[in-house]
Amino acid sequence: MDKNRRLFLKGLTFFSLALPLKIYPFPKENKFVSFKHGVASGDPTQSNIILWTKLSDVQANTALVSWQISEYKNFSSLIAQGKTRTNSFKDFTVKVDAKIPKKYNGLKIYYRFKVGNNISDIGTTSTLPITNPEKFNIAFCSCSNYPAGYFNAYREIALNKKIDLVLHLGDYLYEYSSDGYASENAKLMGREVFPKNEILSLEDYRKRHATYKKDKDLQLLHSSKPMIAVWDDHEVSNDSWKEGAENHSPDEGSFSKRKEYAIQAYFEWMPIREKNNKKHIWRNFTVGNLFNLMMLDTRSAMRDKQLNIEEYFQDSNFDHKNYLKDLEKPRKLLGKDQFKWIKRKNSDKFRWSIFGQQILIGPKYLPKIFKDVDKNNFPKYLHKYISLAGKEIPYNTDQWDGYPKEREKFYKSIQSSQSNLILAGDSHNSWISNLYSKQKKFVGIEIGAPSISSPNFVDAFGDMVDPIDKSFIETNKNLIWTNGKNKGYVELEIYSEFVEVKFNYVSTVKSKRYNKLEPISFKINHNKPMI
């Protein structure tokens, strides 16, 4: 074949490949894309912030998304911008780790996303201050069960202009079916979950996240403040541990696969920084030398199976001796890798070491009142526990009480801190406790958050909740205060010498018409127990 013929055939081949592009151009990409699930930001550092959104009504297998950040809400000038792609393998979620110019450190900035002519809502966020502010305000919360009630407390956090940062300590969503836990009034309130089945597959978890993210109060919160989140059990399944869960049965398939799906969906749908090992969710954030915030995982990565207290009840008797003996056996909660990380990251250079984690850490015993009243006044599931009332016998082995050796190891690992605050979610009630080691050494203060909407003591005990709260304080010597009546969130106003703690409540979660209640406040002094 001569040279001219080869060139002719080569050109003809190129022309035939290019022809369809000219005659049959690709359709315009994603003309009708929408942003039905809002925007969010999270995991702020001194230089970076995660920006998140989700695309709906995508007509192609992939989408090109522009993101913009401005110091002005009208976006008249931009301080950072870029483009990224998403696709069906990511459930069309979008996540950007945006670098913010140093001159805007700690200042309020605005962000948005664009696909073609389609523009998302505008979000407000900020990085963490490099230098010490006079004060810094954190809101923390947990246990937001969609069918149990409206997210009025989320709305209150969003509207609180003093809040700089939001922590979510887990149970951001619940895995149950539409007729499961706390769903009695769901249909009446228009709060039925989707899908209707208990979530098991990757698609199930994605759809449940989508249900929650369509809530307007949650959207308002995410668009108003940066959030740092960790999971608890319901993001996978109730009372989970590293290899199983109370609410997972063999006929539901492989637990490890279910957990893998849940974690994938969580990282897709939450404004959380991606890690090589997504099972290791622990990470820390600092503000000057005012505080070091260390977010822990007491639930998923290393937790050994909980001791089953039910096995120690024999008719109406309880085997105290063997229960307490077995409780003291070594049982992992944080695990070796996380302890190493805590030792590396914890430092006495910070005025406050704040630990955001899932479960109550201070000992909690059933109050005396349970043995002094007719047991028929209590739910049936509590009847057998009445024999434990007023005695120093831990009753909830899913909390740190079920892992006493691990608790002492943790206390020892943080003893070099200047002053410790240990935050907890999960219980649905409000708590403040002084924490002491077995050697009677003061460790720090525990602050337990109420639920956003999940049932608490008042839902179980009604008018008896106030005397039960009082009896809890009388029975537990290091418990300063508790409240099982109200739902809401906790606000920490952090200064160098003290922290102002405010329990902020809403009057109801069963109606969108509610009142903001007067906060209940406490003052925590640096490295001193509360009186």
* Interatomic CA distance for residues 21 and 44, integer angstroms: 44
Q: For 203-241, what is each residue's pLDDT tens digit?
A: 999 999 999 999 999 999 999 999 999 999 999 999 999
Length of the chain, please? Answer: 531
Task: Evaluate if residue 14 carries a pLDDT over 60.
Answer: no
Q: Which amino acid is at 246?
A: E
**What is the number of helices (H) and of strands (E) in the chain?**
12, 25
Q: Which tokens hold the place of 393?
A: 């016998």
Helix (H, G, I), strand (E, B) or coil at 484: coil
| Radius of gyration, alpha carbons of the chain | 26
Residue 10: pLDDT above 90?
no
Residues of the chain with CATH 2.60.40.380: 18-127
Question: Is domain 18-127 classified as CATH 1.20.1090.10?
Answer: no
> Is residue 371 packed enough to be buried (19+ CB in 10 Å), middle (13-18) or exposed (0-12)?
middle
Q: Is the pLDDT confidence value at 25 over 90?
A: no
The closest alpha carbon to 384, from 484, 305, 476, 315, belongs to: 315
What pLDDT is attached to residue 26? 38
User: Contact at 8 Å (CB) between 38 and 213?
Assistant: yes
Please check whether residue 34 is in contact with residue 57, taking contact to mean a CB–CB distance below 8 angstroms. Answer: yes
Q: What is the mean pLDDT of the chain?
A: 94
The candidate with the shortest Cα–Cα distance to 442, out of 473, 472, 418, 471, is 418
Rounded Cα distance between 529 and 318, Å, is: 34
pLDDT surpasses 50 at 13: no
If residue 499 lies in a helix (H) or strand (E), which one and from where to where?
strand 498-506
pTM over 0.85: yes
Average pLDDT over residues 409-420: 97
Q: How far apart are CA 402 and CA 21, in angstroms?
A: 66
Strands (E), 264-403: 283-287, 291-295, 313-314, 317-318, 352-356
Q: pLDDT tens for residues 487-501?
A: 999 999 999 999 999
C-alpha atoms less than 13 angstroms from C-alpha of 80 in its C-beta half-sphere: 19
pLDDT of residue 18: 39
Report how far residue 359's alpha carbon sits from residue 513's, in angstroms, rounded to the nearest whole number: 31
Whether residue 373 has pLDDT greater than 90: no
Query: Longest C-alpha distance within the chain, in Å?
Result: 106
Q: Which one is the CATH code of 286-479: 2.60.120.960, 3.60.21.70, 1.10.10.10, 3.40.50.2300?
A: 3.60.21.70
CB 106 within 8 A of CB 130: yes
What pLDDT digit, counting tens, does each position of 474-526 carry? 999 999 999 999 999 999 999 999 999 999 999 999 999 999 999 999 999 99
Q: What is the pLDDT, as a whole number, of residue 29? A: 59
Supply 407's token pair.
């608790």
With both helix axes pointing from N to C terminus, report the angle between 255-269 and 202-213 in degrees, rounded to the nearest 10: 40
Within the chain, all domains assigned CATH 3.60.21.70 are found at 286-479
Q: For residue 24, is pLDDT > 90?
A: no
Q: Say which range, 10-24, 84-98, 503-517, has the weakest mean pLDDT.
A: 10-24
